[in-house]
Chain A
Amino acid sequence: MSQFVRFTIDGTECMATRGQFLVDAAKENGIYVPTLCNYPGVKPKGSCRICTVRVNGKLMTACTTPVAEGMNIESEVKDIVELRKSIIELLFVEGNHFCPACEKSGNCELQALAYRFRMMVPRYPYQFPLKKVDASHPKIIKEQNRCILCKRCIRAIRDENGKSIFAYRRRSAKVEVVVDPKLGKQLTEELAQKAMDVCPVGSIIVKEKGFVTPIGERKYDRTPIGNDVENMQITTN
């Protein structure tokens, strides 16, 4: 069996290593499939559903589906683009996201995706849920208003014995990501920073440090999100 497989994305012939996940395979072929819960080097979970594509007629998440020979993938088609935009809007109405007051503004992937998808205002009614802020840990603040429940921190951050520091709690719309009471207290500065960097939004914030990079000069202030536009500069007059 050849190590390489051929497939098409929106009609474009692509080639990738067998078994590679679709998002990565697309990226290697210069095609951007938007992602949010996916994170390089961390086992994919397919929980945000933004990377949904249609593979041979079936909806699948590109972050969890390995490429196979002859796959016919639809990505930038009307209904799927619309679906992705819908999901971004849903995440906005599910929580309480006030970008101007958020330390992560400009580095926030949800915000960057909203810009990229030209979201003006969500079409869904805001839920205005009552959420808590857990500031009981010495190094981090867990801001539940902004959590999009993507599980990145759960999957990426573990203590030296491999124990979970972050975990889901409850289910349904009541689900939340919580910090282990004991391990949260022992969190090192390094791991706290990593947790903040892993978080796509402003739900994990390192304490006593803020606005090191001024708003306006941050990652997505300069370049839009997406590997297809990474050389593009945002210019302001």
Chain B
Amino acid sequence: MKTGVRKILEKYGKDKTRLMDILIDVQSEYGFIPREITIQIAEELGMSEVDVDQTISFYHFFSQKPTGKYQIFLNNSAVANMMGRAEVAEAFTKELGIRFNEVTPDGLVGLFETSCIGMNDQEPAAIINNHIFTRLTPFRAKEIVRDIKEGKNMEDMVVADYGDGENRSDLIKSVVSNNIRKIGPILERNYKVGQAIEKITKMAPEQVIEEIKKSNMRGRGGAGFPTGLKWEFCRNATGERKYILCNADEGEPGTFKDRVILTERPRLLFEGMVVAGYAVGATEGILYIRHEYKYLQQYLESILQKARETNYLGKNIQGKKGFNFEIRIQFGAGAYVCGEESALIESAEGKRGEPRDRPPFPVEKGYLDMPTVVNNVETLCSVVKVVLNGGEWYKSFGTTESTGTKLLSISGDCRFPGVYEVVWGFSIDDILDMVGAGKEDVQAVQVGGPSGAIIAPNEFNRILGYEDLATGGSLIIIGKNRDILTNIVLNFMEFFIEESCGSCSTCRIVPTLLRNKLTKILNARGVKQDIEDMIEWGKILKASRCGLGQTAANPVLSSIKNFRYLYEEKIQKNKIFDNGFDLSAAVKESCRVTGRVPNI
């Protein structure tokens, strides 16, 4: 074991900023990270054990106990539940004879829950040993368990045909479908690699930035910071080296458009990173991808290798002296908060994904304290098109405030879930028409994932754009037969509780209190004051450091705002106070356990 670990450490130059890669390799080699390996890593990297441990214990896909030869991570997103996850979960537990978070006694299979894995358009889905299984049914769950017990290879357990496009390629071979439903200027098929790189070799870096500024493009991750301005800040910052980080950690439940770009247009993305590197003066790029997309690793590595061979990466790119750029892939290990740019940087440095205090901003002091641009996958794809066609061209799409197009990830109760590239300014009504969701069947639309807002039909005329509904592109359509409070709001609150980094007092404590209040209301113990309390308590979260904390009350606050009647239907009308504690139920339970007869 010792020499095996040493080999892994040497592969990463015994560099503690590469701790994530080291731990990912150890986890995949040994199935978990035993304490003696933690101690060995600490010693060889000159760290204390708790320093290594704090990184390991932060991430969902690292484990310190054996997790089974086969690890089943069943997605628990709201849409998975809408699509029948409960039955699949039951089939798994029944067939395996274990509960979630347990491993079978023979050490063969571990069963775990996991937050949204970016497959909302083909739920219920699970990750088993880095392979994706989509559209699960109880029958499929039984088949999978049977195959596992027979000791089948992962490849042989896939019975469905491979998905469309590159999902079929030798290096992916996955059942995942792209579900691209609408193609626009970013996803267009005629893209040819390298044209933008060739064009910028004849431009000054400042000219490239000027063109991006002219396009008025704003970051596609959700926050919407002007891309050109970000690049300019970074270009003007002083630092020995500069970095381009691509944020492919899309963890907002309901979003999966980056998965599709990574599958179908990775060359476009890498070209965008090179363009950004040239503009900013960076020589190294890191593609930070969520661990859930590990099944794309070999494929993406091979494309990078091809780019090196054709000199679209490397030294003196396309003959331009001093134009050097290299890209490496950094995987995460399961943490939504790493989608926040400074948390992503921390994680890429091998640490816990805790957001940093700002200032300083990443453009001044980012990765390894060097000036760093962090851009979303879609943003970097869009800049290639701006370079090729000009800022004015880009501005001809969308609205004044929100130029260009947006990739939407649409899922839930509609006929055609998938990825749609639309121009900004599309209304919710148009979207429902587009995806085959009858208006009379739709109760609500969740815009922007859990951190966004839940919209009622009276607001379906609102438009997508920074001037109205800003979004990173996740839209979940909620049908008439859904119980919004249980299916959506409670699920989202559990998500925020699980995904908080725990650093800010506010985000660590308040979501749990809100969830408990909601549960109290769902248990018919709520009173009017509970609704008022939730509104008041939710405000506290605004004082959190990062976007996760600041928006963690949104599921509750926006559903109270737009669906208050759902809460009011559930509360007790004749009571002004209820401590939520059911004495007779508790006594009954205790009597059942102790074998006594209740006398109340």
Contact = CB atoms under 8 A, between A and B. Distances in A.
B465 to A, nearest CB: 23
A171 B501 contact: yes
Interface in A151-209: 151, 159, 161, 163-175, 178-183
Contacts of A52: 543
Contacts of A90: 505-506, 509-510, 540
Query: 3 nearest interchain CB pairs?
Result: A175-B502, A167-B50, A64-B357
Nearest to A179: B50
A151 to B, nearest CB: 8
B57 interface: yes
A171 B48 contact: no
Given A44-B357, A46-B545, A171-B57, 19 more contacts: A49-B505, A49-B506, A127-B512, A149-B505, A163-B47, A164-B47, A164-B48, A164-B51, A167-B51, A167-B53, A170-B502, A171-B499, A171-B500, A172-B500, A173-B500, A175-B503, A178-B53, A181-B49, A183-B48
Contact of B543 (A83, A124, A171, A174): A83
Interface in B66-103: none
Contact of A169 (B54, B499, B500, B537): B54
A142 B75 CA distance: 36
A93 B502 CA distance: 16
15 contacts: A47-B504, A47-B545, A90-B509, A91-B505, A94-B505, A163-B48, A167-B53, A168-B352, A169-B53, A170-B58, A171-B499, A171-B502, A172-B499, A175-B502, A181-B49
Contacts of A169: 50, 53-54, 57
B513 interface: yes
B510 A164 contact: no
A161 B49 CA distance: 14
A138 interface: no
A219 interface: no
B505 A148 contact: yes
Interface string B21-57: 0000000000000000000000000111111011001
B242 interface: no
A50 B505 CA distance: 9
Given A46-B357, A59-B543, A65-B359, A180 B502 contact: no
B513 A124 contact: yes
The winner among B49, B504, B543 for most chain A CB atoms within 10 A is B543
A7 B294 CA distance: 50
A46 B507 CA distance: 13
A122 to B, nearest CB: 11
A175 B49 contact: no
Interface string B494-528: 00011111111110111011001000000000000
Nearest to B516: A125
Nearest to B579: A125
Contacts of B539: 83
B574 to A, nearest CB: 22
Contacts of A164: 47-48, 50-51
A165 B508 contact: no
B50 A86 contact: no
Interface in A2-56: 44-50, 52
Contacts of A135: none
Contact of B508 (A44, A94, A125, A181): A94
Nearest to B506: A49
B18 interface: no
A182 B544 contact: no
Contacts of A175: 501-503, 508
Nearest to A127: B512
Contact of B49 (A127, A148, A182): A182
B357 A61 contact: yes
B374 interface: no
A182 B48 contact: yes
Given A90-B510, A164-B48, A182-B48, A171 B545 contact: no
A172 B503 CA distance: 8
B542 interface: yes
A172 B498 contact: yes
Nearest to A176: B502
B377 interface: no
Interface in B355-375: 357, 359
B506 A45 contact: no
B127 interface: no
A52 to B, nearest CB: 5
Nearest to A37: B505
